[in-house]
Amino acid sequence: MENVYLNGRFVPHDNAWISPDDRGFLFGDSVYEVVRWYGGFFFDMEGHMTRLRRSLSETRITWHEIDAFPEVARELISRNSLDDGCSLVYLQVTRGAAPRTHAFPEPPVKPTVYAFARRQSLDTLIWERGIIIDLVPDPRWNRCDIKSTALLANILSYQAAHDHGLAEVCFIRDGFITECAHSNIFFVRNETLYTHPESGNILSGITRKNVVALAADNNISLVEEAVSADMISYMHEAFLTNTSGEVVPVTKIGDIVIGEGTPGEITKKVQTLFRAKIEAWGREHGARSMGQGA
Ligand code: PLP
């Protein structure tokens, strides 16, 4: 049976119980992370840890044992026989269980910490074909920079897109494209990449950050500037980034076909560079930090 991590212990999934008074359950008062295991190493665990620390500090949730997470994630991989191939490790930290009231529990209670690992292979077919996504007004709050589990607005928008057979949904706020329900978005025009700058209107994706760094390292021009929704039809290419899909070409947004309606050349170049970065990461970090070769 699947083994999960709950509050300091590894337990069979069916024995993992949390209180109905948990604030993650009652309020969505919790934050999370998702990190990818590439059959021998985690990609940019440091980046995920930095973002987790920030999410916890912005929400004033205290988890003293945070430094243990990389080891917990590694142990979840072993205990679930996932060492080979690609998997995702999910971690959630809630403010803990206490009688329901908006104010933080006083005195503070222990956070609830839950993590699990699941096999999730990379979908290479969508890398080749690209995806079609929806375009809707951004219904979310203005603290999208916090990786909060309160994702109802994302879920409702995503489900509406999914009901129409679309693979993601892209948000417009005040006339500008912010990001998608569970990915960041990049556009390409005249060989220059455009993506929304870090702000309360987007989650600072780890994949996004790595693509921004890759562009700088490879002389690809990139501007961290929001694209106006009116300009979508003038864009030559578009792609999404996230931990589960890496770099995914977008061929149509709402009614607008992007470029030729097929994955663009710059997108393919970014995909290739990103793949190479992961392989190099495995060679550099796999053996040393994860205790086994990549
Ligand atoms: N934006 C949102 C709203 C997300 O939920 C995610 C990932 O879940 C991302 C962007 C991409 O972030 P990352 O590249 O760290 O997976």
Smallest CA separation from ligand 1 atom 7, residue: 182
Section 175-182 average pLDDT: 98
Cβ-proximal residues to 64 (8 Å cutoff; 6+ apart), any chain: none
User: Ligand 1, closest atom to CA 209?
Assistant: 14
Q: What is the pLDDT of residue 166?
A: 98
- Expressed in angstroms and rounded, the spacing between residue 64 Cα and the centre of ligand 1 is 25
Section 124-141 average pLDDT: 97
User: Ligand 1, closest atom to CA 202?
Assistant: 1
pLDDT of 285 over the 90 cut = no
CA 151/CA 133 separation, integer angstroms: 19
Confidence of residue 68 (pLDDT cuts 50, 70, 90): very high
Section 277-287 average pLDDT: 87
Amino acid (one-letter) located at 262: T
In a domain, 291, yes or no: no
- Expressed in angstroms and rounded, the spacing between residue 52 Cα and the centre of ligand 1 is 13
Same domain, 155 and 252: yes
Q: Which of 96, 121, 146 is the last residue of a domain?
A: 121
Q: Which helix H or strand E contains 153, and what residues bound it?
A: helix 152-163
Cβ-proximal residues to 68 (8 Å cutoff; 6+ apart), any chain: none
Q: Which of 147, 252, 268, 269 is catalytic?
A: 147
Whether the Cβ atoms of residue 218 and residue 146 lie closer than 8 Å to each other: no
Same domain, 191 and 91: no
CA 102/CA 251 separation, integer angstroms: 44
196 lines ligand 1 (CB under 6 A): no
- CATH code where residue 174 lies: 3.20.10.10
Give the up-direction half-sphere exposure of residue 101: CA atoms within 13 A in the CB hemisphere: 6
Residue 293: count of CB within 10 angstroms of its CB: 11
CA 42/CA 103 separation, integer angstroms: 37
pLDDT tens figures, 108-117? 999 999 999 9
Q: Which of 66, 87, 121 is the last residue of a domain?
A: 121
SS3 category, 156: helix
Same domain, 211 and 247: yes
Q: Which helix H or strand E contains 274, and what residues bound it?
A: helix 265-281
- Expressed in angstroms and rounded, the spacing between residue 40 Cα and the centre of ligand 1 is 23
In a domain, 47, yes or no: yes
From 270, 196, 266, select the one nearest 237 (Cα to Cα): 266
Smallest CA separation from ligand 1 atom 9, residue: 183
Same domain, 104 and 18: yes
Ranges assigned E (strand) in the chain: 3-6, 9-12, 30-38, 86-94, 112-119, 131-137, 168-173, 176-180, 184-189, 192-195, 221-224, 237-242, 246-253, 256-257
267 lines ligand 1 (CB under 6 A): no
33 lines ligand 1 (CB under 6 A): no
pTM for the predicted model, two decimal places: 0.96
* Residue 248, strand partner residues: 240
Averaged pLDDT of the chain: 96
245 lines ligand 1 (CB under 6 A): no
Give, rounded to a whole angstrom, the gap between the first and last alpha carbons of the chain: 26
User: Ligand 1, closest atom to CA 144?
Assistant: 3
Same domain, 129 and 90: no
Section 123-141 average pLDDT: 97
Q: What is the pLDDT of residue 1?
A: 86
Percentage with pLDDT > 70 across the chain: 97
pLDDT tens figures, 40-65? 999 999 999 999 999 999 999 999 99
Range of the domain at 157: 125-279
pLDDT tens figures, 231-267? 999 999 999 999 999 999 999 999 999 999 999 999 9
pLDDT of 294 over the 70 cut = no
Same domain, 45 and 131: no
Q: What is the pLDDT of residue 291?
A: 37
Q: How many domains would you assign to the chain?
A: 2
- Residue keyed to tokens 């205990």: 79
Smallest CA separation from ligand 1 atom 8, residue: 182
CA dihedral 46, 280, 195, 242 (to 10 degrees): -70
- CATH code where residue 14 lies: 3.30.470.10
pLDDT of 283 over the 80 cut = yes
pLDDT tens figures, 8-33? 999 999 999 999 999 999 999 999 99
Cα–Cα distance list, 288 to 41, 96, 180, 284 (Å): 10, 35, 35, 8
Same domain, 27 and 165: no
Same domain, 189 and 56: no
Q: Is 147 a catalytic residue?
A: yes
Same domain, 111 and 132: no
Confidence of residue 286 (pLDDT cuts 50, 70, 90): low
